[in-house]
Structure 1
Amino acid sequence: MSTSTPATLHRSLKQRHVVFVGLAYMSPFAVFDTFGIVSEATRGHVPMSYIIVTIAVIFTAFSYAKMVRVYPSAGSAYTYTRRTIAAPVGFLVGWAALLDYLFLPMINALLAKIYLSAEFPDVPGWVWIVGLIVVITGLNIVGVRISAVANMIMVVFQALLAIVFVVLTVRAILSDNALAFSLAPFYSVNEDVASLVGGASVLALAFLGFDAVTTLSEEAVEPRKTVPRAIMWVAALGAAFFIGVTYVMQTLVPDLDALTAITPDVEGASPYIALFIGGIVFQTIFLVGATVSVLSSGLASQLSASRLLYAMGRDGILARKLFGYVHPRLGTPVINIVVVGAIALTALRLDLNAATSLINFGAFTAFAFVNLSVVAYWLRHRRDEVLHGSVLAWTVVPAIGFLINVWLWFSLDQLAMTVGLIWAGLGAVYLVWLTRGFRRPTPEVAFEEADEPILAWEPAAAPRA
């Protein structure tokens, strides 16, 4: 590898590219993957759980938008925490976030096997896992813009299919005299707050897309305008989509008895609901959409994971020659992309439940510390004349976001907490070794940002259509 290779990423992504990468990472079809288990856990109140997690996401999205305007570089929560609080804390946040980024490609590989094996039972499951990983690795190596365009096409296809799903569901509801649209999916007398929060802690996985777009800051054109707008668009569009779709689904199957009357498999309920509302033809089309969703999300998640490894490698926290390398012609962190693909191959031996239970540990950790980063940044610069915005926007709003995320964090199941804390402990041990017992500073290098960090923050204007 040539030492003259510049460790910079190519700026080629416009706002629409960043938004669609975020939506692809969010995976619109994730709403169908989790509906059955969350409906059972919340006793028929999935839309209300989405509202709870949306509140947490909106507060946190504002904090992400603030931080990306100040530090428009790869690294996301890792970068913001390292710059505003402390380098060791940033390392531990980045380490926790690796659970999200590294496990999500595995989950998509497992979902590919589940969906495609159901359609083609004679084909060995490992073929689908390896095939998906090879395809997404190749597309991400070729270049981020090609990956972004592919994601745009796949997200549009998923959205259109979801609209058809909603229309057919509404038709089924209207044709059944026993069903009617009401506020029951949001509120009922048997509603339990603890179960709603528990459901929300599972559904947070669906909103990781707005966090993922911040890892593309160094590849976005005018990142201080493009990325904050994209964050808010992804969060808002995702919330509206998830709440709307689950509302009509929950109206069709208002309780567990109604759900089990349609499907023998609560965890995999959505394909059976598709069969119920549209017949075998629509179910087949639905499974095609689910496969496209897996490909799209896998493409976006591997893309974001490779950028986080790149940020940590460029800092010297991970091996710089490997993880900080950018291919001189392609402009992509090729080694990181291959590493993430290789890790995803553990899906050959991994259980889906074990993988999904770990994702939100890192997510809530990252979300909480991004909110803290906003407050820390304000404390450092509150006396600077160029620091615009109210004290409320810099302290109270992110503090509320922090508390909500901590609440959701403690609502995670025991497996997620246990494995997540073990992972965090390993990160702490590695940090002690890296710094030789904190006698050396945590490795840092100057980031290649769009320009010098700025102190001012102003709300981003809504993007033009």
Structure 2
Amino acid sequence: MQATLKRTLGLWSIVMLGLGYMAPMALFDTFGIVSGSTDGHVPVAYAIALVAMLFTAFSYGRMVKVFPSAGSAYTYTQKTMNPHLGFLVGWSSLLDYLLLPMVNALLSQIYLSAIFPEVPPWIWVVAFVLIITCANIWSLTSIAKFNTLLVLYQVLIVVIFIILAVRELMNGEGYGSVLASGPLYNSDMRISSLVIGATVLCFSFLGFDAVTTYSEETPNPSSTIPKAIFLTALIGGLLFIIGSYFAQALFPDVTSFNDPDAASPEIALYVGGKIFQLFFLAASLASTVASGLSSHASVSRLLYVMGRDNVLPSKLFGYVHPRLRTPVLNIIIVGLLAMTAVFFNLETASSFISFGALIAFTFVNLSVIVHYAWRKKMYSTVTGFFSHIVIPTIGAVFVFILWFNLERNSFMLGLSWAALGIIYLLFVTKGFRVRPGNIQFEEAGESPRIDVQAK
């Protein structure tokens, strides 16, 4: 009997994996950039981004109830629309999933090289990837526990920052008040600036969607995963909003920073001195490790489902180690790809990521409409109409706004990757004459222990 993934993850383990993927400390990395673009209203931009992402999070929750498989957007599109289209969505999503481990390796290199400048930078990339890969091979349960510690450490640093910021505000710094209205509203606020800022910040929420890839490693996915998706987006969003409020109250004008695009070290130094800055930078490194662990685990599960469905070679990508119950070969492949970070810089690697995420978000919202409203006709009640037409449509509109503001290089690189996927699909389907992997449309890839009836 072929080995399957081990069902050991509970609700909060999955939420912590999602928060680790999102990296709470990222709010300080983007603060200077977004504060400039929103004229000093970062928390409002985060609130807009949170609302936008919660609509798509709702759509993910609806789809995982009926298709609780580890394949996420790939599975939903494959089963509600078309297997060929599902493959292309999965292929495009791979762009996001495959490159995030590389981005985390590059970030770790940047942090550690700043602390140990005498060490060759490539050593940090190799060491980081080896540690992340070995941890993923061993056990996802162990990763979830360690990831929880890393996330809690980041939350602790955010809380300490808030306490220190309150002290400075009470001493008359910044707006000079803990309950200042300036970060939230003034008469000169421009909706267009807030939307542009929210567009940038939406990508801080990448990770709430990744928890769907753990569906086959939780005992009751149709109940647990929707809750985990919502809680990951909500908790992460609230951390971003609260943390950015106090940062904005303390730093109303980004011109006070020497480098607004990389303001986080200056923020830490200002509020807590050298000692706090050291712990702050350690939390930034912890966020990179946590995101590295989570993203590595997620992409290996997506590859596993695509291999199990025979759209990728099943003997390689569909393999699960019989004792460890992890997709070992996929984990090693992702590790090898992450190693190529030694040949790239952060800007190049990061420019690929947004395209894949937006493809996934778009088709998850569309999948809800196609499955529930078109196929199941579940729109005759007020609840059904809002759940299966209004909410996913609003989610799709928000995603369209993100598409409109997507950086040109990211769009062009994403299209190039999608073109490679089309060429591969033409080959394996003999010009679209057969389904990829000869998938059985209604049953492909589901564990016999999963209930796939619509809720």
Does the aligned pair in 2 maintain the 1:66–1:374 contact within 8 Å?
yes
1:52 aligned partner: 48
Q: Indicate how the Cα distance of structure 1 residues 297 and 407 shifts in structure 2: closer, same or farther if over 3 A, else same.
A: same
Aligned residue in 1 for 2:230: 232
CA distance in 2, matches of 1:145, 1:177: 45
CA distance in structure 2 between the aligned counterparts of 1:193 and 1:411, rounded to whole angstroms: 15
- Give the direction of change, closer, same or farther, for the CA distance of 1:178–1:313 in structure 2 (3 Å limit): closer
Normalized against structure 1, the TM-score is what? 0.92
Q: In the alignment, is residue 391 of structure 1 matched against residue 388 of structure 2?
A: no
**Of 417, 423, 433, the match for 2:427:** 433
Aligned to 1:158, the other structure's residue is in SS state helix
Contact 1:387–1:455 (8 Å) recurs in 2: no
- Report the CA distance shift for 1:216/1:58 in structure 2 as closer, same or farther (over 3 A): same
Corresponding residue for 1:310? 304
Q: What is residue 95 of structure 1 aligned with on the other side? A: 91
Provide Cα deviations, 1:332-366, integer angstroms capped at 9, x if missing partner. Answer: 00011111111111211222122223222211221
Tell me, in whole angstroms, the C-alpha distance in 1 between the residues paired with 2:451 and 2:198. 38
Alignment RMSD (CA, Å): 2.0
1:59-98, Cα deviation, whole Å (9 max, x unpaired): 0111111111101111111111111111111111111111
Shift of 1:223: 0.9
Moved more, 294-303 or 410-419: 410-419
Residue 462 of structure 1 corresponds to none
Query: Which of 121, 129, 140 is the aligned partner of 2:117?
Result: 121
Correspondences of 1:305-384 after superposition (within 5 Å): 305-383=299-377
* Alpha-carbon displacement from aligned partner over 1:365-424 (angstroms, at most 9, x marks no partner): 211110110000013443589999522211111111111111111111111111112212
> Does 2:289 match 1:295?
yes
Deviation at 1:189, TM superposition (A): 4.2
Aligned counterparts of 1:389 and 1:369: Cα–Cα separation in 2: 22
For 2:215 and 2:383, locate their aligned partners in 1 and report how far apart those are by CA, in whole Å: 23
Q: Matched residues in 2 for 1:246 and 1:349: separation? A: 34
1:408 to 393, 402, 408: 402
Corresponding position of 2:452 = 453
* Offset, 1:437: 1.2
- Which residue of 64, 69, 73 corresponds with 2:69? 73
Deviation at 1:55, TM superposition (A): 1.5
User: Separation in 2 of the partners of 1:177 and 1:273?
Assistant: 13
Q: Percent identity?
A: 47
2:2 aligns to what? 5
Change over 3 Å in CA distance of 1:267–1:43 after alignment to 2? same
How far, CA to CA, are the matches of 1:422 and 1:171 in structure 2?
51
Query: Are the aligned partners of 1:205 and 1:359 in contact in 2 as well (CA < 8 Å)?
Result: no
**Length-normalised TM-score, structure 2:** 0.94
Give the Cα separation in 1 of the matches to 2:265 and 2:379. 57
**Mean Cα deviation higher: 194-203 or 136-145:** 194-203
Instruction: Please give the alpha-carbon distance, in whole angstroms, between the structure 2 residues aligned to 1:388 and 1:190.
Output: 39
* 1:42 to 1:59, Cα distance in 2 relative to 1, 3 A: same
**Per-residue deviation at 1:441?**
1.6
**Counterpart code for 1:265:** D
Give, as a single letter, the amino acid of the residue that structure 2 aligns with 1:451: I
Q: CA contact under 8 A between 1:85 and 1:373: conserved in structure 2? A: yes
> Deviation digits for residues 151-174 of structure 1, max 9, x if unmatched?
111111111111101111222222
1:209 alignment partner, SS class: coil
Using the alignment, how far apart are the partners of 1:228 and 1:431 within structure 2?
A: 31
What's 2:212 paired with?
214
Residues 419, 190 of structure 1: alpha-carbon distance in 2 compared, 3 angstrom cutoff: farther
The Cα shift of 1:266 comes to 2.2
Correspondence for 1:27? 23
Name which of 139, 152, 155 aligns with 1:159: 155
Q: Which residue type is aligned with residue 299 of structure 2? A: A
Corresponding pairs, count: 448
Q: Secondary structure at the match of 1:325?
A: coil
What letter corresponds to residue 107 of structure 2 in structure 1?
L
**2-structure distance, mates of 1:29, 1:393:** 33
Q: Which moved more, 1:349-358 or 1:77-86?
A: 349-358
State the AA in 2 paired with 1:22. G
Which structure 2 residue ranges, 5 or more long, are not aligned? none
User: Unaligned stretches of 5+ in structure 1?
Assistant: 457-465
Distance 1:390 1:280, change over 3 A: same
Q: Which amino acid aligns with 1:220?
A: T
Tell me if structure 2 keeps the 8 A contact 1:166–1:245: yes
- Provide closer, same or farther for how the CA distance between residues 347 and 199 of structure 1 changes in structure 2, counting only shifts above 3 A: farther
Preserved CA contact (<8 Å) 2:32 2:260: yes
SS of match in other structure, 1:390: helix
Structure 2 CA distance for partners of 1:368 and 1:384, relative to 1, 3 Å: closer
2:174–2:252 contact (8 Å) kept in structure 1 = no
**Contact 1:197–1:408 (CA under 8 A) maintained in structure 2:** no
1:141 aligned onto 2:140: no
Deviation at 1:236, TM superposition (A): 0.8
Structure 2 residue 191 is matched with structure 1 residue 197:
no
